[in-house]
Structure 1
């Protein structure tokens, strides 16, 4: 099939919206420049309240960046999710939760309780809106012990689009990264669950091999080259990115998780405010 008869549509999604003021500033500016298509909100991010104001002001399509790994959960009563947190009330971390899941320490009802609370928090922060899509912070949503709950609850809440991080660059160019390979293998199985719940997802995903200093024109061209031999008439592609200005390590994170605290934090963010720009 000639490439002239094909339609390729790429979604460029910025993860971690709401993490801190300087990351959010970059995401909004990139959307204004039409350099990104959408973003995903960390509902337990320190700047989530302000991020939602930006999304409303600039009409930024926004999904939920489900976070079961980093910072404080949104659930207030930690007894309800006690296996998801450590003795300090913090989640177990990117590798920590996977270790706890593998040894059977995480209770499914705790996972679902926090997921539901994160969906509800998103609605609270956006005046009742539903996320446009769902993806997972550090791709936790495709873990085999979590994916069924994510898919079922997403459908229950009316969320129809989900990320599938089946990154062709990992398969083609980056076979030595064990974490990336694990995510790709888990995603291959997760797609069966997503199909079961009639969730929609892109034909191709790129982004794991282009994070940080690897986000170069050369690497992006490698991603696009993979599509040259694709014969499908219409392709939907997602490129994940993590933009942001250099940030103060003491400002931001995933530790507040309360609407009142979000509101109170606005005053200290005026120097980053771009609502009137």
Structure 2
């Protein structure tokens, strides 16, 4: 079985500092794809940096934080012009308070803005805080991708979360919700011929939770799970990461600063782990080929 690994840097465009860190990781051969946020202080800077390289760019669809890319005022998708937040948006979606037409408009607007700024359609589209696979959003999302000729997304199902003993209850419950939403969307993605990697990991290894030992174990676990359940010649796994340098608390991100994780050294820690000789030697020893999302076409 041939094994391929896509290492994706999320939140590209969040801030200039984040962009510098992601491009450093790319230069080190530590990431191959970057998911671009379009409504942040570093969005333009990210695009300018990316155009000077061969990094594969995808759209990090955002319906939860900051201001929308589409029309200035939505009646339900935002509150006072701002997205409702990770849990606030999910609560409103579940209660049926969000107009479907507004979701359709915002997804379409973000894909069109990406094409306008980057000069080509995104190689893939995933979701900030995995909102693309919420049960209400996923059919709208999949239809939009098909309309724009985009055929690849993320399926954030990390196996055996209960074994990740370093996770606290709050983190475990949140990540379990993401996995449950993702699994429930599989049929929708299949209906619209939207492809994903055969396996995924990275939910449980953000920031200080990332170590070379854990990454190696989780990557091999993901490949093994596919090998045991599917008969395929090539297996591609996506590893979600969050490298970068600290964003100032007073300015950056969605213009008003960042949270503790974005301001901490945890993202520098990710650059170091991902770029380490330990990881490079691991890939070589296990004949894991590093690729970008373009391998999923």
TM-score bracket, normalised by the shorter chain, equals 0.7 to 0.9
Q: Is 2:123 the counterpart of 1:132?
A: yes
Task: Kindly state the Cα deviation for residue 114 of structure 1 after the two structures are TM-superposed.
Answer: 0.7
Could you say which residue in structure 1 is the equivalent of 2:27? Answer: 32
CA distance in 1, matches of 2:196, 2:58: 13
Deviation at 1:185, TM superposition (A): 1.2
Q: Show structure 1 runs of 5+ residues with no match.
A: 1-5, 257-277
Contact 1:20 1:252 in 2 (8 A): yes
Partner of 2:250: 250
Partners of 1:90 and 1:216 lie apart in 2 by 35
Counterpart of 1:193 (choices 188, 211, 216) is 188
> What SS does the aligned partner of 1:95 have?
helix
Distance 1:69 1:183 in 2: 14
The aligned residue for residue 121 of structure 1 is 113
User: What SS does the corresponding residue of 1:205 show, helix, strand or coil?
Assistant: strand
Matched, 1:162 2:153: yes
1:93 to 85, 98, 114: 85
The structural deviation recorded for 1:169 is: 4.4
Contact 1:72 1:255 (C-alpha < 8 Å) held by counterparts: no
1:219-247 Cα deviation digits (max 9, x unpaired) = 21220231346244311000000101122
Match of 1:270 in 2: none
Distance 1:242 1:109, change over 3 A: same
1:213-228 alignment, distance < 5 Å: 213-226=208-221, 227-228=223-224
Q: Scaled by the length of structure 1, what TM-score is found?
A: 0.85
Unaligned runs of 5+ in 2: 257-297
In the alignment, structure 1 residue 67 sits paired with structure 2 residue 62 = yes
The whole-number CA distance in structure 2 between the counterparts of 1:67 and 1:170 is 25
Q: 1:153 corresponds to which residue?
A: 144
Q: How many residues align?
A: 247
Looking at structure 2, the residues matched to 135 and 224 of structure 1 have their Cα atoms a distance apart, in angstroms, of 20
Whether the 8 Å CA contact 1:169–1:223 is kept in 2: the answer is no
- Hey, what's the Cα distance between the residues in 2 that align with 1:114 and 1:255? 20
Task: Give a deviation string over 1:105-152, Cα, whole Å, max 9, x none.
Answer: 11111111111111111112113x100001000000000000000000
CA distance in 2, matches of 1:105, 1:211: 32
- After superposition, give the CA deviation of every residue in 1:161-216 in whole Å (9 maximum; x if it has no partner): 01001111426536951121111111112111110001111011111101121111
Is residue 72–residue 90 contact of structure 1 (8 Å, CA) maintained in 2?
Answer: yes
Supply the distance in 2 between the matched residues of 1:212 and 1:183 (Cα, whole angstroms).
Answer: 18
